[in-house]
Amino acid sequence: MCGIVAYVGEKEAYPIIIEGLKRLEYRGYDSAGISVINGDLATFKCKGKVSDLEAVILDGPLHGNVGIGHTRWATHGVPNDVNAHPHLSGDGNLSIIHNGIIENYAPLKQALENLGHVFKSDTDTEVLIHLIEEVKKEDNLSLEEATRRALQKVVGAYAIVILDKENPHKIVGAKKSSPLVFGIGDGEYFLASDASPMVKYTDKVIYLKDEEIITIDLNEGYEIRTIENEIKKPKVLQIDLKIEELEKGGYEHFMLKEIYQQPITIAESMRGRINAAEGWGKLGGMELHMNRFLNAKRIVLTACGTSWHAAMIAEYLFEDLARIPTEVEYASEFRYRNPIISPDDVIIALSQSGETADTLAAVKLAKSKGAFIYGIVNNVGSTIARTTDSGSYIHAGPEIGVASTKAFTSQLTVLTLMAIILGYQKGKISEDYYRQLLAEMESVPTLVSKILAKADQIKYIAGEVRNASNALYLGRGYNFPIALEGALKLKEISYIHAEGYPAAEMKHGPIALIDMYMPVVIIATNKSAHEKIISNIQEVKARKGIVIAVITEGDQTIKEMADFSIEIPNIAEPLSPLLAVIPLQILSYHIAVMRGCHVDQPRNLAKSVTVE
């Protein structure tokens, strides 16, 4: 994880780096630091957020036109001032920021200690900068050449940027498995974990590839080489990212903004892909490979966290509508359990960030076995998007709140559309049902707006259960994964322990937990299992649990049974998760705010998990 940003140009580096770090804080926020070249190498760092770093730099902003900054999510060494980045070489001339993990840091550290190096921190990063220093001194090499040779000795993942006090106009960056974007402005250059710190200044970027090293010199321009010393001339891309998309836009939190954006973002994920009146749905990336999908013996979806919940719903969708055997795998398990993968399989990788290390590793594994890999990704140009054979972007726009909301509904929109198209093309659903589903898909943004209009009612319920220590989420069929997602949303931002279960499984264990203090959120919109859900609610009520039911509009029976109910519009069952998740997002948000939690940056988490 971690966010890194670097600037070389004519402007003051400090404000650009600080602003850039604030944009990258979603990647980690347990400590922050900055180095700026100003004759000397001025380095400040501390435990805490970027705002804490600003407070540490008491004498006002640092001056200098070349600098690097870092916001950390700890891997090696607890979050404290010493372990914060940047880290300096032994002689204090070099300063490094790093996102990733140096796996062989222990033997490297031992070898360096044998040569007399002394380390101040517990980090793998400090080992790396001492290694570069050692290689540089040994053969009197340039910084870029020393970096290239040092990286040949390194096992692990890295996006790094290094400053050299003796070369004040130059920075060197390199990447492997962690992202690094190079921005080309007017007489100025940027390096960062994503494009957000540079979008104010340029829309021209190069996404560096693994094992590429970039040298940026204010006077001489830039040069990219591979670790094998081959010169590369990558294409400069133009990105379409607007600064407003990175701001809260009047909302108190990014999460709230993103919840409220969903009518628009769901519509964006369908734009140009569906026309119910004309009776067609299409996804460009899928059309190009339709035979792979139609002849797939099996679809395997792989993802992590909330994306994994979207994948679970896709299992229900693909099997129900298209009758294609489908499996869902946690990317981290898939990666390490020696799975059976054949060239007839279609592997679908889901990731909002497109950078999740476990998902990327799963993609690479499946690719090595000859399977066809389809990506469903939000972040355009991200590593997973570039590694898959084909795919569909979800077009949700930047998601900055750590808790995923709009990306989830956009992933679901694309997956639902895929299942409808495949079901129809395989002759598994009738023309009438196909057209009905397309029409109902088109109505989803309006129906989501209707649910958002009930936010005050949901906020009231949040107030009634805000002090709970535990919560249970129950759902059946299509809405079982929504129960999992509701529980994840609550626990990650409010720190209330919550579990999601298939409603019928409750009686096999979790029922023992239910008492008068336990809120039980039941997604009770299923038409196919309405009676069964009613029985589950009775079972909870009999144990005095507090029932919060998400019901279909007009469901008087459950409304009268539940302590609290939230009505959502009627919709075809396969589409119901798209609506049912919205009240659960709002509920978690308000509970977290009422408990005084940091909604956008929950403790111990980061938006993009780029370590395995």
Q: How far is the CB of 405 from ligand M6R (least distance, A)?
A: 8
Nearest-approach distance from CB 400 to ligand M6R, in angstroms? 12
Q: Compare residues 484 and 506 and give the one whose CB is closer to ligand M6R.
A: 484
Q: Does 359 bind ligand M6R (CB under 6 A)?
A: yes
Cα gap 347→340, rounded to integer Å: 12
**177 versus 352: smaller Cβ distance to ligand M6R:** 352
173 vs 305 by CB, closer to ligand M6R: 305
Helices (H) and strands (E) in the chain, counts: 20, 27
Active site residue 2: yes
Q: Which helix (H) or strand (E) holds 256?
A: helix 254-260
Q: Binding ligand M6R by CB under 6 A: which of 125, 269, 332, 404?
A: 404
- Could you give the CA distance from residue 141 to residue 124 in angstroms, rounded to a whole number? 23
Tokens of residue 100, six digits = 């990733």
Residue of 2, 46, 304, 597 with catalytic role = 2
Least distance CB 513 / ligand M6R (angstroms): 24
352 interacts with ligand M6R by CB under 6 A: yes
Here's the x/- map for ligand M6R, 419-458, by CB under 6 A: it reads as ----------------------------------------
C-alpha neighbours within 13 Å on the C-beta side of residue 414: 31
By rule CB under 6 A, what string of x and - marks binding of each residue 536-575 to ligand M6R?
----------------------------------------
Where residue 559 falls (left for φ over 0; alpha for ψ -120 to 50; beta otherwise) is alpha
Cis peptide before 197 (omega within 30 of 0): no
**Contact between 609 and ligand M6R (CB under 6 A)?**
yes
Taking CB under 6 A as the rule, does residue 585 contact ligand M6R?
Answer: no
Is 193 one of the binding residues for ligand M6R (CB under 6 A)? no
Judged by CB under 6 A, which of 353, 387, 525, 610 binds ligand M6R? Answer: 353
List, in sequence order, every residue forming a beta bridge with 584; answer none if it has no partner.
none
Cβ proximity to ligand M6R, 14 vs 374, nearer residue:
374
Strands 87-88 and 66-72: unpaired
307 in contact with ligand M6R (CB under 6 A): yes
Q: How far is CA 125 from the centre of its chain?
A: 24
Give SS3 for 160. Answer: strand
Active-site residue, 406 included: no
CA-CA-CA-CA torsion sign (84, 87, 92, 95): negative
In sequence order, which residues have a C-beta less than 8 Å from that of residue 295 and are 6 or more positions away? 344
402 forms part of the interface with ligand M6R (CB under 6 A): yes
Provide the token pair at 328: 């869902």
User: Which residues from 489-508 bind ligand M6R, rule CB under 6 A?
Assistant: 492
CB of 349 to ligand M6R, least distance (A): 9
502-505-509-515 Cα dihedral, nearest 10 degrees: 60
In the block, which residue shows the tokens 């076995």?
Answer: 369
Minimum distance between the CB of residue 604 and ligand M6R, rounded to whole angstroms? 11
Among 125, 269, 356, 410, binds ligand M6R (CB under 6 A): 356
304 binds ligand M6R (CB under 6 A): yes
CA distance 458 to 441: 25
Dihedral over alpha carbons 493, 499, 502, 505 (to 10 degrees): -170
Tokens of 530: 């309405």
**Which of 306, 332, 388, 588 is close enough to bind ligand M6R by CB under 6 A?**
306
Is 301 a binding residue for ligand M6R by CB under 6 A? The answer is no
351 contributes a contact to ligand M6R by CB under 6 A: yes
Query: Between residues 378 and 526, which has the closer beta carbon with respect to ligand M6R?
Result: 378
The catalytically annotated residue of 47, 49, 109, 607 is: 607
Least distance from ligand M6R to the Cβ atom of residue 75, Å: 15
Three-state DSSP at 30 gives coil
Whether the Cβ atoms of residue 30 and residue 81 lie closer than 8 Å to each other: no
Q: Does 258 bind ligand M6R (CB under 6 A)?
A: no
Q: Which of 479, 601 has the CB closer to ligand M6R?
A: 601
Closer to ligand M6R by CB, 547 or 605: give it. 605
Please give the C-alpha separations between residue 548 and each of 515, 545, 587, in angstroms, as whole numbers. 14, 9, 10
Which of residues 403, 438, 484, 558 is near ligand M6R by CB under 6 A? 403
Residue 124 identity (one-letter amino acid): D
Closest CA to 42 of 133, 165, 215, 171: 165
Active site residues: 2, 607
Binding residues for ligand M6R, rule: CB under 6 A, are 304-307, 351-353, 356, 359, 402-404, 488, 492, 608-609
